[in-house]
Amino acid sequence: MIKLKSPKQIEKMRRAGKITAAARALAGKMVAPGVTTREIDKAVHDFILSQGATPTFLGYSGYPASLCISINDEVIHGIPGKRVIREGDVVSIDVGATKDGFVGDCAATFIAGKGSAEAHRLVEVTRQSFFEGIKYAKVGYRVSDIGAAVQSYVEKNGFSVVRDYVGHGVGEVMHEDPEIPNYGKPGHGMRLLAGMTIAVEPMVNAGGYPVKVLKDGWTVVTRDGSLSAHYENTILITNGEPEILTVAGEQ
């Protein structure tokens, strides 16, 4: 069931979104050679609590951390731990914060140190594909119009879009209807309505799009071992341009 948000609910989502975006920015600044993923997770956990919010991911379906940190061929759901980030690593940060009963959800990919030209291009194409997609996040367009735009831009740049995982509605819980695929043909799915709040999140691989889940039951990796990047914001469908709710300085 699609839940259209009231003005009061939207204001709560803005507050949750700002905290979540600030947490993403904090994590991104910490991405550097020699830092462990657990250190980043702890810093973000403490920051979210300091803002009077709670880490949405912690305990979600049993997930054991406040962040997902996915490195190189890891697409999503990488669990923070003892792993030390190395020079050139491609590090995807995915974070959620719940404030006053509403959720913010966002992600971005950062490069530790200098990084390769391919890595930088992958990260930039992934980020831009989000903005290509939300050109269609307007009243009257359909859900698939967003994904079609993402896929077209990504494939035009020689990369592939993950099929097994998609964007989603966001609100009082992290995953609401509808699903927002990052691929497909335009003109399908429900029409977008003012008051919808959705997470658009391209997951882009340098190689093929097939993925697999590791034995930990969480970490998703590319089947061919290629690099992957992730970019996500929670957005509000309005009667005009979409509003990005997960904004705090940097997007």
User: pLDDT at residue 201 above 50?
Assistant: yes
Predicted pLDDT of residue 251: 40
- Model confidence at 250, pLDDT cuts 50, 70, 90, reads very low
Tokens found for residue 123? 């990260």
Predicted pLDDT of residue 58: 98
Report percent pLDDT > 70 for the chain.
99
Topology of domain 7-244 in CATH is Creatine Amidinohydrolase (3.90.230)
Amino acid identity of residue 205, one-letter, is N
Predicted pLDDT of residue 248: 77
- Model confidence at 53, pLDDT cuts 50, 70, 90, reads very high
Q: How far is CA 245 from CA 10, 101, 209, 211, in A?
A: 9, 15, 29, 29
Instruction: Give one DSSP letter per residue of the chain, joined into a string.
Output: ---PPPHHHHHHHHHHHHHHHHHHHHHHHH--TT-BHHHHHHHHHHHHHHTT-EESSTTGGG--SSEEEEETTEEE-PPPSSPBP-TT-EEEEEEEEEETTEEEEEEEEEESSS--HHHHHHHHHHHHHHHHHGGG-STTSBHHHHHHHHHHHHHHTT-EE-SS--EEE-SSSS-EEEEE-SSS-SS-SPBP-TT-EEEE--EEESS-S-EEE-TTSS-EEETT---EEE-BEEEE--SSS-EESS-BSB-
Per-residue pLDDT tens over the stretch 60-109: 999 999 999 999 999 999 999 999 999 999 999 999 999 999 999 999 99
Q: Is the pLDDT higher at 250 or at 160?
A: 160
